[in-house]
Amino acid sequence: MLLAADIGNSSIKFGVFDIGDVMTPVCSFSVASDVNRTSDEYEFIIRGLLKSKGFESCLERSVISSVVPSVTHLITDALYSITSFAPFIIGAGTHTGFKICTDSPAELGADMVSNTAAALCFAAPPIVICDLGTATTLCVVNSAREVTGSVIIPGAKLSFDALSESAELLGKVSFKRPRDIVGKNTADSITSGVINGNIYMIDGFIRNLRDGLCKNGESLSLIATGGLSDIIIPHCRNKFTTVKNLTLIGSAVLYAKNCKLN
């Protein structure tokens, strides 16, 4: 079995895959991303969660996709102890099967690389991949299977928390979409601004990206993932295919492309 780790700023997601079927995790779980933990602490937590799901002793290999370098080495050490093999880390030099046509391809986040690898298994290009997490990212893949660039926006929850924390008089506000666009109280005004603002922003980006990507009548494939996708994406005018664990699936796909399958 293959253990995939997606290291983000807020959480680390894990997925267990049958090495012969890297498109569907047989189980998944997550832990908080904390640079102050030791590798031993991470190992203890990961082993406990794997044991609770019945996969503690059957893991053979592992793969890591990370956007948090300070945590990468901690998870690397933990996964080495769990599997007895060094994890495959997605980064510069990883064979992807697609071109990265940006100013500095090595700068493209491992999460976007993994997301693209998975998205190309689910949909035909051109594709826009929307990942709603700590940041909201839009990764653009043209009809020639080339990543042409990305958009990175402060995530909806990050913006919401920053506004709530910096405005003392606003009080506690729940993070859910209000019934009306125009709020009739402070809480609804804030949540409408953040959540509806993100909905309209994503739709606006898609409208403009479609104009540039679909000049020959192609259909634009839209893939969404991330922890906030269930809150934002259903209300967008554009219709997305939401794929849970897209980054983990892409990491497993890239492992299969780069490593011998045992």
Taking only Cα atoms into account, the Rg of the chain, rounded to an integer number of angstroms, comes to 19
Q: Contacts from 86-90 at CB under 8 Å and sequence distance 24+?
A: 87/5, 87/61, 87/62, 87/63, 88/61, 88/62, 88/63, 88/64, 88/255, 88/258, 88/259, 89/63, 89/64, 90/63, 90/64, 90/65, 90/66, 90/114, 90/251, 90/254
Residue keyed to tokens 């005004």: 189
* 162 vs 112: CA distance, rounded Å: 25
* 17 vs 21: CA distance, rounded Å: 7
Query: What angle, rounded to 10 degrees, do the helices at 246-258 and 110-122 form?
Result: 90
Residue keyed to tokens 């993100």: 198
Choose, from 6, 111, 131, 188, the residue flagged as catalytic: 111
* Residue 111 annotated in active site: yes
Which residue numbers are catalytic? Answer: 111
